Amino acid sequence: CLLAPRPLGTCSGDPTVSLRLALLFAFAFPLVARAEKGDDWRPDARGDAAVLTRFKRMLESDPGRDFALKRLIDGLGLAPLLAEYEAKVKATPHHFALRVIVGRLEQRSGRIENALASFRAAIKERPDSFLARRLLAETIADASADSTDDAARAFEAALQVAKKKDEKRLCFKRLAAIAVRGRDIAKALGYWRSLVDLEPGNIFAREELAQTLTSHGLHDEAIREWKAILVARKGDTAKTAETLRELGRTEEAAGAWEAAVATYRRALALVVPKHWLARDLHERIRNTYKQQGKLGLLEALFENKKAPDDIAELARIREAMGKENEAIVAWRAVIAGRPAEPTPRLA
């Protein structure tokens, strides 16, 4: 009755519905009343000692919980919380979780050397902990742009103890970024390929690899990756069109402008004329012809076309050529819904 619309009054005789409504109002009205008074009745209310104690237990059972750490910092303040956990570590120096928590708090306090020492002490207690090794590696990597070798070694050590795909993925990504920062592109590509091999069916990982290859000027390898992605996306028209656009951009960057134009046109065949991607593709084709000084060839391809969208593209091509008067003629034809009248070609 509450889920489907019915004529007014048809539910009033149903005792089950009456009970549901009574329970709904019984629970809802007290909460509304308390909220109106400004009371913070949430279970994670700031400063609630019992709640903060629960968050401490939660964090000490799993020192990687970001949510619990944030709630404790919000509720107690960073400096008091750090002092409290430093005292706990002093009392129990071989406690793995306490060492990690102190390291995380020191890191947030900007005490990087102390944080590194805490993470190393935690690793000493539990050498196979991915969490401790990851935190150590991230702290080293973020501390200085010059510490690429140390950061790479730390992430390699974390990778050795990583068991989950997410953990390995994180390490490969950070190692690739460190290699790029150190201008070792070959090594970065090795990490990206390892990332793809980790999940061969993960198209997004392949896209990241293709984009990385393109950004570093490795166009031939990038083109191979985009073509592999096209095969994987067979049957998905929208994604295929978008992938063709990326392939065309890479071919264009590689200097293969004719191949790029052909690829853009393949993508155009998959989208309706008024789609945003169609407009983008037409613009890319115009720009490619313009860069080659061959807009006249493109103009000739559209001069005898009759569809309003094609005439509109002819107008844009003529605008790009600086033929303002002829462009106006074409636009008027679009507005009138009829083909453009022939105009004399300028030499």
Whether 84 has a pLDDT exceeding 70, the answer reads yes
Query: pLDDT exceeding 90 applies to what percent of the chain?
Result: 49
Instruction: Decide: 75 and 67 in contact? Cβ < 8 Å.
Output: no
Q: What is the pLDDT of residue 264?
A: 93
Average the pLDDT over 135-160 and give the result.
89
Q: Which two tokens stand for residue 42?
A: 């949430």
Instruction: Decide: 247 and 225 in contact? Cβ < 8 Å.
Output: no
Confidence of residue 121 (pLDDT cuts 50, 70, 90): very high
What gap in Å lies between CA 91 and CA 49, rounded to an integer? Answer: 22
Q: What is the pLDDT of residue 34?
A: 40
Q: What is the pLDDT of residue 311?
A: 86
Q: What is the pLDDT of residue 14?
A: 52
Q: What is the pLDDT of residue 338?
A: 56
Average the pLDDT over 281-306 and give the result.
87
Q: What is the pLDDT of residue 90?
A: 95
Q: What is the pLDDT of residue 44?
A: 46
Q: What's this model's pTM, rounded to 2 decimal places?
A: 0.64
Whether 12 has a pLDDT exceeding 50, the answer reads no
Whether 237 has a pLDDT exceeding 90, the answer reads yes
End-to-end Cα, the chain, rounded Å: 77
Give me the phi and psi of 275, to 5 degrees please: -70, 150
> Residue 71 carries which side chain, given as an amino acid letter?
R
Average the pLDDT over 54-68 and give the result.
94
Containing H/E element for 47?
none
What gap in Å lies between CA 43 and CA 256, rounded to an integer? Answer: 61
Instruction: Decide: 282 and 268 in contact? Cβ < 8 Å.
Output: yes
Confidence of residue 1 (pLDDT cuts 50, 70, 90): very low
Confidence of residue 290 (pLDDT cuts 50, 70, 90): confident
Whether 347 has a pLDDT exceeding 80, the answer reads no
Least Cα distance to 97 among 81, 78, 80, 119 occurs for 119
Least Cα distance to 298 among 335, 261, 259, 337 occurs for 261
Confidence of residue 343 (pLDDT cuts 50, 70, 90): very low
Q: What is the pLDDT of residue 273?
A: 84
Helix (H, G, I), strand (E, B) or coil at 192: helix
pLDDT in tens, 169-215: 999 999 998 988 888 888 988 998 898 888 888 888 888 889 888 88
Dihedral-angle region of residue 183 (phi above 0 means left; psi in -120 to 50 means alpha; beta otherwise)? left
Q: What is the pLDDT of residue 147?
A: 66
Q: What is the pLDDT of residue 212?
A: 83
Q: How far is CA 322 from the centre of its chain?
A: 40
The C-alpha R_g of the chain, in whole angstroms, comes to 31
Q: Which residue has the higher pLDDT, 157 or 188?
A: 157
In degrees to the nearest 10, what's the CA dihedral of 264, 270, 273, 279? -30
Sign of CA dihedral 246, 249, 251, 257: positive
